[in-house]
Amino acid sequence: MSMKTLLVTLSLLFSLVSNVVTAAPSLIPAPPQLSASSYILMDAFTGDILVENNADEALPPASLTKLMTAYIVEYELARGNLSFSDMVTVSEKAWRMEGSRMFIREGTQVSLEDLMRGIIIQSGNDASVAAAEYVAGSEAAFTDLMNQHAQLLGMTNSHFKNATGFPAEGHYSSAHDLAKLSRATILQFPENYTMYAEKEFTYNNIRQPNRNRLLWRDKTVDGLKTGHTEEAGYCLAASAVRNGTRLIAVVMGTKSDAARAAEAQKLLNYGFRYYETRKLYSRGQVVNNAKVWGGSQATVKVGFADDVLVTMPRQQGDSIPASLDMQKEIVAPIAVGDVLGTIIVGSEGNVLLEQQVVALEAVEEGGFFKRLFDKIKLFFMNLF
């Protein structure tokens, strides 16, 4: 049997129908050129990159480092190893940290929740060290965790030497890696992400505003983090959501606080103006009833294990061609989740998405005579 190819069309609601309609051409201007050493614009839901410039260049990340510090705390919270109510004793090292601070005092106890706000909102170096010591016993041990998590997240141009972003030889990251980290924070820990949108935090009777200017300028922006050192310049990782599309912008090496906000805003405005995230298929949606050989039933429902999203130009036609390539022979037994084929969305030379399709139900082996009959039938069919 030859590979089965089924041409389908995604309608306005992206249900499967029988005819293929050619997508309308998309007219998109060149992206803005930013005054920054490195930058990237990413779709948070799909991971697609819309704009990039020197995005994989290893650069000093300054306090964008704290995105990883906060991520690890959230990772441990999600696994039940920590609680926001945990009380953390402040060490002398944490208390003596210079630069931006939360103003915790040596020997006092601070809740982990307050430390997280100190890290995210106030960019506290003291809070970052206190949290690192609580999680791993020492900041040095914590940096080992940072680099392990970076590897798991595919951050191939990052290496961390501390939990704060203080300049250190061999401490670096890239705009692309920091966008990956921001995406992981948003998607993996949505219950904590609201912290990144908070505009101020008061601790020890000291009120400090969030340094992310976009939180005041753009109501769709809800994170994430700023950074600045002489070596790194002014950096910003920002995220916003509009009409179901969430974008992440990272700019590194701008010249001022105002510039990092303005340049990130340019990226976000461009992305939302010309692109959108569309849901093509839903988790569990059936796209085919495939023939099963030697099974207790004749067919198996084929679809998707998760929602299928794609980033595409806003001017793209409402109907998009897609092809479904199924395995040549599907033989029982079949387990739920077994990969049975691939769907390719888009036209030749402009593929938007390739996604595996899986079995949505289990199919057990049929009886002896059923299996024997199907084997004989397959044998003769393959002769031709």
Catalytic residue among 37, 38, 63, 100: 63
Tokens of 45: 């839901």
38 is a catalytic site residue: no
Interatomic CA distance for residues 170 and 158, integer angstroms: 9
Q: Which residue type occupies 207?
A: R
> Residues 6 or more apart from 234 whose CB is under 8 A from it?
226, 227, 228, 253, 254, 255, 256, 257, 259, 260
CA 80 to chain centre: 22
Buried b (16+ CB within 10 A) or exposed e, 62-99: bbbbbbbbbbbbbbbbeeeebeeeeebebbeebbebee
123 labelled catalytic: yes
CA separation (Å) from 44 to 27, 57, 74, 238, 268? 23, 21, 18, 11, 12
CA contacts within 13 A on the Cβ side of 67: 32
Choosing from 38, 66, 239, 319, which is the catalytic residue?
66
- Is 18 a residue of the active site? no
Residue among 379, 381, 382, 373 at smallest CA distance from 295: 373
Residue from 285, 314, 312, 317 nearest 301 by CA: 285
Identify the active-site residue in 38, 91, 100, 123: 123
Q: Report, as residue numbers or ranges, the catalytic residues.
A: 63, 66, 123
